[in-house]
């Protein structure tokens, strides 16, 4: 194979799609199942139709654009992502995965290639979860992880249900939303982190998604006067929280590939001259291996216990939430690796820190993902950016991996 | 001298005063220059009149009740505190200092003692500052530290000025509010901290008031995704703040008698899965010696600088406010010490962590303070408590010190 995708066409399509539901600073605002989202999907329908694809809509609004192969009854190769965005979303998160897969169709057409297996581009409904929780909704129902009846009843902040918006927009299809035999699923995405850019690497070969713990922690000590309470008599909840935050990072540093974040912290009361008797904070810890993640979680509990005993605090844990790690399919990983290698792109294995539709699909089909760098690791932001060269590199790797899987 | 104050009478007066502007949980609510505050002052006027005192009101509403001595032209000995309270105030903070001094008058009367110098009980206006800032207002103008014209224009949350409330309540007196020759000033107060109670000590011989630094600190790093940003690429403002909080305590531990408090901390944004790019927090550091306080402040700046360099953060300092330490008069300190000693009370030197009217008066007259324990160190709270025995011990020490100064 000596030809590539049409880099200009792909970039132009990305820029064209960004104009649908435009943001105020160059990005897009297409919240799931709004008129703007539907306008984006309709633009995709138009392009997919022009490329000769047959469209199919399922009961969750997941949209499939099928290019026939030599064997119509063979399990298809799938590739896609989502077209919905965050409220102030960028031009690439999700969109690249859909339009990259569409570019694969267009390129196969350009060069008159007939694949053995059919190829389908998929647009998953409501990946962002910004309007209706949870995120990765359409792929979650498809993979049998979420229940469609329950999901239909979920509401946006105005109390409007998913089901009524699927009806209103005409996006409630006839095909039952459930998994069918899929030969392989690939998803092209921007990294949404800084690693590839900082390491000057073109392609991230994604080996899986991190397991995740979320916890709410409240420490209780005693409010006291900042001037009249000697250090030895204090029960300072913020001192306890600070020791846990720095101590947790030391634990994390002993486990390669893990990350931890305390993103929210509140002092109660919040007064310059009162020792805070209560502190609430959140913890987010992630690791690509579930057993290691459990080990880190255990060490966090030990740290909290030890700090609380030393500082005279009590603790309350709340809202613990766990998502297991996912491992992509070794065959798909190998095909992405091989494609990057053959195309001469610098590449490295990488674990996805964010959730993606692929993390659901991997439960019902051999799955792989391809990352390309994004500027300053920035995403979920209108300033989200990447380059035409990086976009084309990602799509070329996708094309090669798809062809390798299609036979 | 073989007699004591009348412990029952003093306790009964404290309990009687607490009923004026009652709180909802056993304490009091007499915000400065409200009708409740005036009712408390009128009860004091009634008692002071019954005890034969001549009343004098100055242009800040500071109220003086004078018991004549042998030498009417001699500089008087003064003792007092305040009758206004926090919104949910206790029965002792301030009130003990006023009614303890009144009990000195009553006891001198009981035993027919004529002192050489006159003795005056003073009720300072608006010590709490809870309605009109700043705190210690009446004594501040009296000592020449605050300007009366400027203070008159200060308003409460409803926009009502100090001057108009002095007029409305009839508490604007004719005597100019300014310092006059004072032989000695003593103030009896609950400790408002835990030290005396924990150490089972009856009397705190107050040697001075702590110097104080207040700072607002903002650390700026970079918001980033909790899942996709490896630890090495983070600029985590909360990690920086946590290291400063724990590091500052290590600095403080090297300087005996110093305290530090971070009472308020805010993360921006405040999201469980975003590394916080900005953190705002307050710092309160105190030490009884100004040079040591400056040294601690310098070390804090060095700590912040070093943490920010290591964590990739920038820093902004704001609202730095400094109050110098005050040292009470060695002669007054010695008289309080001697009184406690002679009366057989356990006692220790102590530095006041909170501000008191005495901290202003010390600039224009020889000044000393007497602390007694309070339950769990609790103050500015309706549950504020102490015992009749402790109250009587404090008043006995006050009586002895006043008589020693009166000659």
pLDDT tens-digit map of B313-370: 999 999 788 889 999 999 999 999 999 999 999 999 999 999 999 999 999 999 999 9
CA torsion, points B93, A272, A219, B244, in degrees to nearest 10?
Answer: -140
User: Does the CB of A194 have a partner CB in chain B at under 8 Å?
Assistant: yes
Instruction: Give domain limits for chain B.
Output: 7-209+325-406, 211-323
Partners of residue A210 in chain B, C-beta under 8 Å: 227
Closest Cα in chain A to B321: A272
Select from A224, A243, A377 the Cβ nearest to the Cβ of B228.
A377
Window from A54-63, A226-235, B333-342 with minimum mean pLDDT = A226-235
Q: What is the DSSP string of B145-172?
A: SS-HHHHHT-B-TTS-BHHHHHHHHT--
Class of domain B211-323: alpha beta
Contact B397, B114 (CB under 8 A): no
Across chain B, mean pLDDT equals 96
User: Does the CB of B282 have a partner CB in chain A at under 8 Å?
Assistant: yes
Closest Cα in chain A to B371: A228
- Per CATH, the homologous superfamily of domain B7-209+325-406 is Zn peptidases (3.40.630.10)
Select from B226, B245, B354 the Cβ nearest to the Cβ of A284.
B226
Model confidence at A320, pLDDT cuts 50, 70, 90, reads: confident
Q: What is the mean pLDDT of residues A289-300?
A: 96
Q: What is the mean pLDDT of residues B158-169?
A: 97
User: Does the CB of A375 have a partner CB in chain B at under 8 Å?
Assistant: no
CA distances from B402 to B79, B103, B188, B332, B396 (A): 8, 12, 11, 9, 10
SS3 B337: helix
User: Does the CB of B273 have a partner CB in chain A at under 8 Å?
Assistant: yes
Q: Nearest CA to CA, how far is A100 from chain B (Å)?
A: 22
Helices (H) and strands (E) in chain B, counts: 12, 16
Model confidence at B1, pLDDT cuts 50, 70, 90, reads: low
pLDDT digits (tens, 9 = 90+) for A79-100: 999 999 999 899 999 999 999 9
Burial class of residue B56 in the structure, from the number of CB atoms within 10 Å of its CB (0-12 exposed, 13-18 middle, 19+ buried): middle
pLDDT digits (tens, 9 = 90+) for A43-53: 999 999 999 99
Q: What is the mean pLDDT of residues A267-271?
A: 89
Cis peptide before A134, with omega less than 30 degrees from 0? Answer: yes
* pLDDT of the residue at A319: 79
pLDDT digits (tens, 9 = 90+) for B52-81: 999 999 999 999 999 999 999 999 999 999
How many C-beta atoms surround the C-beta of residue B260 within 10 A? 23
* pLDDT of residue B396 exceeding 80: yes
Q: At what angle do helices B35-50 and B95-110 cross, to 10 degrees?
A: 10
* pLDDT of the residue at B319: 79
* pLDDT of residue B2 exceeding 80: no
Partners of residue A201 in chain B, C-beta under 8 Å: none
* pLDDT of residue A1 exceeding 80: no
Partners of residue B198 in chain A, C-beta under 8 Å: 233
User: Does the CB of B231 have a partner CB in chain A at under 8 Å?
Assistant: yes
Contact B120, B109 (CB under 8 A): no
pLDDT digits (tens, 9 = 90+) for A135-182: 999 999 999 999 999 999 999 999 999 999 999 999 999 999 999 999
Please give the Cα distance from B265 to B274 (Å, whole number).
Answer: 17
Partners of residue B195 in chain A, C-beta under 8 Å: 230, 233
User: Does the CB of A223 have a partner CB in chain B at under 8 Å?
Assistant: no
User: Does the CB of A252 have a partner CB in chain B at under 8 Å?
Assistant: yes
Q: Nearest CA to CA, how far is B193 from chain A (Å)?
A: 5
Cα B394 from chain centroid? Answer: 17
Partners of residue B261 in chain A, C-beta under 8 Å: 226, 236, 272-275
Which of B213, B228, B243 to substitute to test the interface with A, most A CBs within 10 Å? B228
SS3 A152: helix
CA distances from A8 to A4, A389, B178 (A): 11, 10, 83
Select from B233, B272, B353 the Cβ nearest to the Cβ of A263.
B272
Partners of residue B276 in chain A, C-beta under 8 Å: 262-264
Partners of residue B263 in chain A, C-beta under 8 Å: 226, 238, 267, 269-276
Select from A210, A224, A262 the Cβ nearest to the Cβ of B377.
A224
Partners of residue B210 in chain A, C-beta under 8 Å: 227
* pLDDT of the residue at A53: 98
Q: What is the DSSP string of A277-304?
A: SEEEEEEEEEESSHHHHHHHHHHHHHHH
This model of the complex carries an ipTM of: 0.88
Cβ–Cβ of B230/A192 closer than 8 Å? no
Cβ–Cβ of A214/B380 closer than 8 Å? no
Q: What is the mean pLDDT of residues A64-90?
A: 96
Q: Nearest CA to CA, how far is A376 from chain B (Å)?
A: 10
Partners of residue B383 in chain A, C-beta under 8 Å: none
Select from B191, B233, B239 the Cβ nearest to the Cβ of A194.
B233
Please give the Cα distance from B183 to B406 (Å, whole number).
Answer: 8
User: Does the CB of B352 have a partner CB in chain A at under 8 Å?
Assistant: yes
Model confidence at A269, pLDDT cuts 50, 70, 90, reads: confident
Select from B226, B260, B264 the Cβ nearest to the Cβ of A267.
B264
* pLDDT of the residue at B270: 87
Strand A259-261 to strand B274-275: parallel, antiparallel, or no bridges (unpaired)?
A: unpaired
Contact B84, B126 (CB under 8 A): yes
Q: What percent of chain A has pLDDT over 90?
A: 93
Please give the Cα distance from A12 to A34 (Å, whole number).
Answer: 24
Give ∠ CA A254-A259-A264 in degrees, rounded to 5.
125
Closest Cα in chain A to B282: A272
């Amino acid at each position: 194979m000596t030809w590539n995708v049409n880099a200009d066409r792909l970039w132009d399509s990305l820029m064209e799609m960004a104009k649908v539901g435009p943001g105020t600073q160059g990005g897009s605002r297409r919240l799931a199942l709004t008129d703007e989202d539907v306008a984006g999907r309709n633009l995709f329908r138009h392009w997919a139709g022009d490329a000769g694809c047959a469209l199919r809509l399922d009961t969750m609004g997941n949209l499939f654009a099928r290019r026939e192969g030599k064997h119509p009854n063979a399990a298809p190769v799938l590739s896609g992502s989502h077209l919905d965005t965050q409220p102030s979303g960028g031009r690439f998160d999700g969109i690249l995965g859909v339009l990259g897969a569409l570019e694969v169709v267009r390129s196969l057409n350009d060069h008159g290639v007939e694949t053995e297996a059919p190829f389908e581009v998929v647009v998953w409904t409501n990946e962002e979860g910004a309007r209706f929780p949870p995120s990765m909704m359409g792929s979650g129902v498809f993979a049998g992880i979420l229940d469609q009846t329950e999901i239909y009843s979920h509401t946006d902040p105005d109390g409007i249900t998913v089901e009524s918006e699927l009806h209103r927009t005409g996006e409630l299809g006839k095909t039952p939303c459930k998994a069918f035999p899929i030969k392989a699923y690939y998803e092209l995405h921007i990294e949404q982190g800084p690693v590839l850019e900082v390491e000057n690497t073109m392609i991230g070969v994604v080996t899986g998604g991190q397991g995740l713990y979320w916890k709410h922690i409240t420490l209780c000590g005693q409010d006291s006067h900042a001037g009249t309470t000697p250090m030895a008599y204090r029960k300072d909840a913020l001192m306890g929280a600070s020791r846990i935050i720095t101590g947790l990072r030391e634990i994390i540093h002993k486990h390669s590939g893990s990350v931890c974040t305390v993103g929210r912290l509140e002092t109660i009361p919040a007064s310059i001259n009162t020792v805070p008797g209560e502190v609430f904070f959140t913890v987010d810890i992630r690791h690509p291996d579930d057993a290691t993640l459990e080990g880190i979680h255990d060490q966090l509990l030990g740290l909290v216990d030890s700090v609380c005993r030393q500082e005279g605090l009590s603790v309350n844990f709340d809202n613990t939430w766990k998502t297991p790690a996912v491992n992509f399919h070794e065959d798909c990983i190998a095909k992405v690796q091989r494609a990057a290698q053959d195309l001469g792109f610098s590449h490295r294995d990488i674990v996805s820190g964010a959730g993606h539709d692929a993390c659901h699909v991997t439960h019902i089909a051999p799955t792989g993902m391809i990352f390309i760098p994004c500027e300053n690791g920035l995403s979920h932001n209108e300033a989200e950016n990447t380059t035409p060269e990086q976009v084309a590199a990602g799509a070329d790797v996708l094309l090669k991996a798809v062809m390798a899987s299609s036979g």
